Amino acid sequence: MKKFELKYGCNPNQKPAEIYMEHGKELPIEILNGRPGYINFLDAFNSWQLVKELREALGLPAATSFKHVSPTSAAVGNPLSEVLQKACFVEDIEGLNDSPMACAYARARGTDRMCSYGDWIALSDVCDVTTARIISREVSDGIIAPDFEPEALELLKAKRGGNYAIVKIDPTYVPDPIERKQVYGVTFQQGRNDFAIHEALLQEIVTENKEIPESAKRDLIVALITLKYTQSNSVCYAVDGQAIGVGAGQQSRIHCTRLAGQKADTWQLRQHPKVLQLPFLDQIRRADRDNTIDLYLSEDDSDDVLGEQNWKKWFKTRPEPFTKEEKRAYLDTIRGVSLGSDAFFPFGDNIERAHRSGVSYIAQPGGSVRDDHVIDTCNKYAMAMAFTGMRLFHH
């Protein structure tokens, strides 16, 4: 296939629309089901690059959940504890930990379920049946992967009334080293960002604390590769092989750090016993459960948010209140989180906010005129910070 005609572009009025290869080359994909759209393909090709690079860097199957050309999360296929399975709503998936690919997607989808609603999925490895079972019950637009087990493919084809978008990509495809795009009729050209992210980037540790354990190095690599395919400015918190908070496309670095930190805090609080034991009514849909948990974990006290009558819409019995003080006390026990930034931190306020979300390890390019202030703030909290020397803007 040399080109594929799309229903429309970003919006219904933007016609005609198509994807194609220059010089009459074959597209590196097969469309196995559905009719992916313009934004679907933007998500597909960006998300595929992310998981392919994670797989190459860490040697583990990787998955990401994408929305509007940025990842809500990305993860590698580490097994899930019972608590994590429950927090990700996959405790009933038989044989989950026997499938690293399923573990990766369970983590990526489970991290920020509000933002992952209607996601585009990328898998680094063959989509197996266990992974397909997780995907089959979530609201999702489509998937890209190098291949699909036959039974997995049939499960996915049944989604969205048979219209679920399924794209198979040639894993050996290598794009041209020069990329181009047009804005307002003007063509932009640049070298493709083929900068490799690996452990050697973390050698220049500029803080008093020089210790970054192997697990944190893995998490920093997850964060940095995630940022490489996130709309800038962007900041990413990561732990246990998964991105737990992504702040994308903000004009101010501190707003990135706050947004991503808030998402990371929500992820941590979702694992609190009060959340895991919420007495939901049996008929509550998964998306409504996500929204209710988000409301329960809002900045207001949960008892005030739920109100005297609202809880009856969602729960069998009234849940215990979860006060701001309890939430803060729980978050204050969190340590060992890693944080990556796609550009330098201009002020120490970013470090102060990161500390509130349990960050112990940081990787950022460095190069600010206030690097000394940022380093001093890290030293204040005994954080270890590496300067990578490489900016990772993505637009």
Distance CA 21, CA 15 (A): 19
Distance CA 139, CA 324 (A): 31
Q: Are strands 119-123 and 140-145 parallel, antiparallel or unpaired?
A: parallel
Quick one: which of 62, 60, 9, 63 has its CA closest to 37? 9
Distance CA 361, CA 339 (A): 6
Contacts of 94 (CB under 8 A, 6+ apart): 130
Burial of 385 (0-12, 13-18, 19+ CB in 10 A): buried
Active site residues: 67-68, 233, 395
